[in-house]
Chain A
Amino acid sequence: MRKKYLVIIYSISIFVFFVLYLSLGKNKVYTTQDNIGKKIAEVQLNYFDIDGEFNTKEISNFKFTLLNFWASWCGPCRKEHKYLVELSKNSNLKIVGVNFKDEKKNALKFLNEMGNPFSILTKDPEGKKSVNFGIYGIPETILINNELKILKKYVGPINSKDVKEIEKIINK
């Protein structure tokens, strides 16, 4: 009887130690870069100023889509905005904006001042839906193709180098 218990307890302990051993080699820094190559999550986002919802499945209707998370209170968003406006002129690309934890009047003021690069504008006032895309701060930008596959993911404001990279991909 004792022997049986001993074997069971030893086996469990060995398993636990083995897993802990494996976990030592793992990278503990949280990143969402491993989402690249995967399909974008299917999420319903409310439109910014009209009733109804935008389903991320609809992205398959466009050749390339840039999903951009922004807010009027976010300094770095202000910095990257001119690049978004520049990219919006490219006909191969639709830019879908997700207005993140923002107040409507501030967001509208922001767009009036800085220009509106978004073909489709949605909102996530509580920041809960953005979690599905692995967003943990803004701005973040995700480039998706018509198979709903994530091609690129930019954490933080995009810059001129990123714009070139995006243009290279969508103009192929």
Chain B
Amino acid sequence: MLSNFGITVSIISLLLTTSILYLSYYDLKSSGNNVSKKIYKFAFFQIVFTFLGFITLIVAYVISDFSLINVYENSHTTKPLFYKISGTWGNHEGSLLLWINILVLFSFLFLILNKNKNKNFKLYTLIFQNLLISAFLIFLLTNSNPFSLLYPIPTEGMGLNPILQDPALAIHPPLLYIGFVGSSIYFSIALAALISKVDSKSLALTIKPWVSVSWTFQTLGILVGSIWAYYELGWGGFWFWDPVENSSLMPWFLMTALLHSVLVLERRIGLYSWVIILSILTFTMSVVGTFLVRSGILNSVHTFANDPSRGLFILSFLALMVFSSIFIFFKYAPDDNKNYKIFSKESFILANNWFMIFFLAVVLIGTLYPVFLDTLTGQKISVGPPYYNFILAPFLLPLLFLMTLGPKHKWISSDMIGIFNIALFISVILFIIIFLSIKDSSILMLLILLFSTYLITQTIFDFYEKFKNKNINLSRIISHFGFGMLIFSISLNQIYSVEKSFNARIGDEKNFQNYTIKFNNLETFSKNNFKSVKGYFEIIDNKNTTSQNLTPEIRVYNQPEIITYEASINTRFFSDTYLTMSNISNSDIFNIKFQKKPFMNFIWFSVLLISIGGILQFLRFEKKI
């Protein structure tokens, strides 16, 4: 029953989408300054029906309706309600439905929130957005239907991969989707602006709130994904340069560049074409990421089932999207004229863009190079952290420096601002204190520490100054402060991390550096959907004679049958203690991995600060309107 209902609702959504396309196209030719009332009505029904489709799937998951293949393959009756619901988007088909819902939501919001904009501009935006919606709906209905029937109906489902049964991962996809699917709206806006020849200022004002919103959600989505990987995968790190992580980072670089260049566009006309290119690229990169993840051409922790027909559809769609947007761009883009001086805010904001594009290129090459090499020469390689760290780290120095000084410059002006100020003085003193307490580290790492300290202190000074003058732009200050903190914490984390892996039996005691680790006991127990072996460890820090108890687990889930290694993490304000254990088959020996991870809380908190900046920018903008 739910299957038929879901399919019907999706078909109605598709019909409504094509109707909107048809109506918008005809409304372009009509006289009058307002978008036809009919379009509003259709858009309203479009969002109602699309949303209904999504609710139908959620209901199917909640009541465990295994007549749907999708529910059968990804759910189980014994699963807690929360994970039944989040299981809806924990698979390819369901997440595609969520993706479509966000496309429609943004299309609808754009329509009702921009009542006073140029009519043709709005209509073209609707046309492009609804073209995207219809392409994804066709993909859903023909290739990846979450409502497909299964007969005979099984009594029990196959279960959700246990590593996905985690609160962080339940909210990670929706956050990330609002981020990169949200970028579709400024993709559509950009193309529409070109065709309907909208001026720079209205383009800037129209896309700015969407950029802030999608950027904020993208940042939060990446943060939550990273926290999940840290707690759940048991590798003890927060970023692995996994191809799929990279796929979420690449649109983020572009969104960050866009967030900055829109500020320039709002005041000057110089960057019109550039902002258009960035808007097009951001969504394109989001679809590229989707292609890489869903087609199965990359091996990664994000194991969507491998299906070449799926990849082919996304690839064809992507090609069509890229070729037509390049064509539209070349046909309609105006010639830009630059009118700003070197030491102006514009130049510094543009410098940000150059860095973001560089970072993007590095990550893109690192992600795609192995795919290209394998396809063209048959050679298999993998590109890992050493490549990224080696290439990206040195460029953090000038980036941090420009982030410190750039915002202090005025628009258009050409006076260079002195770099010797109290903030620099204080940060050098702070740095010397840190330097003296570090035993050994590379010069690059030390310089990064110095520059990030400078950025942190300077933003604090900026905050104080602006606060005094009551002319405060908190969004920039908080985000830049957050970024400074992030780089600072990551550097200290790298320098002070301790890692040791060893084999041990119950009763063994290991000593190294200042730590003693005792393997005290082992316990097995059964829970509803898994069996567990829990190790009891005592970790003694001999330097300040504190001890903590950690209990890593090995879980054997029964539906589906999967072994997971649950890290035991003791989080303190300054430092995390991290312990994982894995069994060595046919023996009573366990492999133990101990890690001391300083400043993890600071890393998470800094990213949160960065995203708060995005929220504040959005709110500030809303107040202005």
- A residues within 8 Å of B by Cβ? 2, 5-6, 9-10, 13, 17, 19-26, 28, 30, 73, 75-76, 78
Beyond A13-B322, A20-B315, is A75–B586 a contact (Cβ under 8 Å)?
yes
Taking a contact as CB atoms under 8 Å apart, the answer to whether B375 and A6 are in contact is no
Interface residues of B in 283-313 (CB under 8 A from A): 291, 295-299, 306, 308, 311-312
Q: Is the CB–CB distance between B585 and A75 below 8 Å?
A: yes
Contact in complex: A2, B330 (CB < 8 Å) = yes
Q: What is the bound-complex CA distance between A99 and B371, given in angstroms?
A: 34
B586 and A78 contact, CB distance less than 8 A: yes
Interface bits B307-335 vs A (CB < 8 Å: 1, else 0)? 01001100100110011001100100000
Complex: A17 Cα to B319 Cα, angstroms = 7
Is the Cβ of A26 less than 8 Å from the Cβ of B374? yes
Cα distance A22–B297 in the bound complex, in angstroms? 10
Closest to A2 in B: B330
Within 8 A of A (CB), among B433-460: none
**Which one of A21, A28, A76, A78 contacts B299 once the chains associate, using CB atoms below 8 Å?**
A28
- Residue B546 interfacial (CB < 8 Å): no
A20-B380 in contact (CB<8A): no
Closest-CB distance, A124 to chain B (whole angstroms):
18
User: Does B308 contact A25, Cβ atoms closer than 8 Å?
Assistant: yes
Residues of A within 8 A of B322 (CB): 13, 17
Cβ contact within 8 Å between B584 and A24 = no
Q: Given A24-B312, A26-B297 in contact, is the A13-B326 Cβ separation under 8 Å?
A: yes
Using Cβ atoms and an 8 Å threshold, which residues of chain B touch A78? 586
Enumerate 29 A-B pairs (CB-CB under 8 Å) in ascending A order.
A2-B330, A6-B327, A10-B323, A10-B326, A13-B322, A17-B315, A17-B318, A19-B371, A19-B372, A19-B375, A19-B376, A20-B297, A21-B312, A23-B297, A23-B371, A23-B372, A23-B375, A24-B308, A24-B311, A25-B308, A26-B297, A26-B375, A28-B296, A28-B297, A28-B298, A30-B299, A73-B503, A75-B584, A75-B585
What is the size category of the interface that chain B forms with chain A?
20 to 34
Cβ contacts under 8 Å, B312 to chain A: 21, 24
- Most B CB within 10 A of own CB, among A20, A21, A30: A20
Q: Complex Cα distance A93/B538, Å?
A: 51
Instruction: Give Cα A28 to B319, complex, Å.
Output: 23
Residue from A9, A24, A25, A73 within 8 A of B326 (CB atoms): A9
Q: Is the interface of A mostly helix, strand, loop or mixed?
A: helix
Q: Smallest distance from the beta carbon of A71 to chain B beta carbons, Å?
A: 11
In the bound complex, do residue B371 and residue A5 qualify as a contact, i.e. CB atoms below 8 Å apart? no
Query: Could you tell me which residues of chain B, from 360 to 389, have a CB within 8 Å of some CB in chain A?
Result: 371-372, 374-376, 380
- Most B CB atoms within 10 A — which of A21, A22, A24, A30? A24
CB pair A22 B375 closer than 8 Å: yes
Compute how far the CA of A25 lies from the CA of B306 in the bound complex, rounded to whole angstroms. 11
Which single residue of chain A is at the shortest CB-CB distance from B371?
A23
Check: B142 CB closer than 8 A to any chain A CB. no
Report the Cα distance A9→B284, complex, angstroms. Answer: 15
Chain A residue numbers with a CB within 8 Å of B315 are 17, 20-21, 24
Determine the residue in chain A with the shortest Cβ distance to B327. A6
Q: Does B587 contact A (CB under 8 A)?
A: yes
A13 to chain B, nearest CB (A): 6
With A19-B372, A23-B375, A24-B308 known to touch, is A6 a contact of B326 (CB < 8 Å)?
Answer: yes
CA distance A78 to B584 in the complex (A): 13
Contact (A73, B371) CB under 8 Å given A9-B326, A10-B326, A20-B315: no
Q: Which chain A residues lie closer than 8 Å to B299 at the CB level?
A: 28, 30
Known: A10-B323, A30-B299. Is A73-B584 also a contact (CB below 8 A)? yes
Contact call B330/A5, Cβ cutoff below 8 A? yes
Among residues of B, the one whose C-beta sits closest to the C-beta of A23 is B375
Q: Does B619 contact A (CB under 8 A)?
A: no
Query: Chain A residue with minimal CB distance to B586?
Result: A75
Chain A nearest CB, measured from B216 CB (Å): 31
Using a CB-CB cutoff of 8 Å, which residues 247-297 of chain B contact chain A?
291, 295-297
B589 within 8 A of A: yes
A132 to B211, CA, bound (A): 48
Residue pair A28, B306 in contact (C-beta under 8 Å): yes
Residues of A within 8 A of B297 (CB): 20, 23-24, 26, 28
The list of the 3 closest CB pairs from A to B, nearest first, reads A75-B586, A23-B375, A75-B585
When distances are taken between beta carbons in the complex, the residues of chain A under 8 Å from B584 are 73, 75
Q: A10-B323, A17-B318, A19-B375 are in contact. List 8 more A-B contacts (CB 8 A).
A: A2-B330, A6-B327, A13-B323, A20-B297, A20-B371, A21-B315, A23-B297, A24-B312
Residue of B nearest to A25 (CB): B308
Measured between C-beta atoms, what is the minimum distance from B47 to chain A in Å?
Answer: 33
Provide the residues of chain B in CB contact with A75, threshold 8 Å: 584-587
Assembly CA distance A161 to B96 (angstroms): 47
Complex: A21 Cα to B312 Cα, angstroms: 7
Residues of A within 8 A of B298 (CB): 28
- Which residues does chain B contribute within 8 Å of A26, judged by CB atoms? 297, 374-375
Inter-chain contacts of A24 with B (CB < 8 A): 295, 297, 308, 311-312, 315
Complex interface: chain A residues within 8 A of B295 (CB): 24
Contacts of A20 in B (CB 8 A): 291, 297, 315, 371
Q: Which of B291, B330, B585, B589 has the most CB of A within 10 A?
A: B330
The distance in angstroms between the C-alpha atoms of A6 and B503, with both chains bound, is 60
Smallest CB gap from A73: residue in B: B584
B318 — which chain A residues lie within 8 A by C-beta? Answer: 17
Q: Which of B498-554 contact A (CB under 8 A)?
A: 503
Residues of A within 8 A of B503 (CB): 73
**Inside 8 A of A9's CB, which chain B residues have their CB?**
326
**Cβ–Cβ < 8 Å partners of A23 in chain B:** 297, 371-372, 374-375
User: In the complex, what residues of B have CB within 8 A of residue A28's CB?
Assistant: 296-299, 306
Shortest distance in angstroms between B328's beta carbon and chain A's nearest beta carbon? 11
CA of A56 to CA of B347 in the docked complex: distance in angstroms? 59
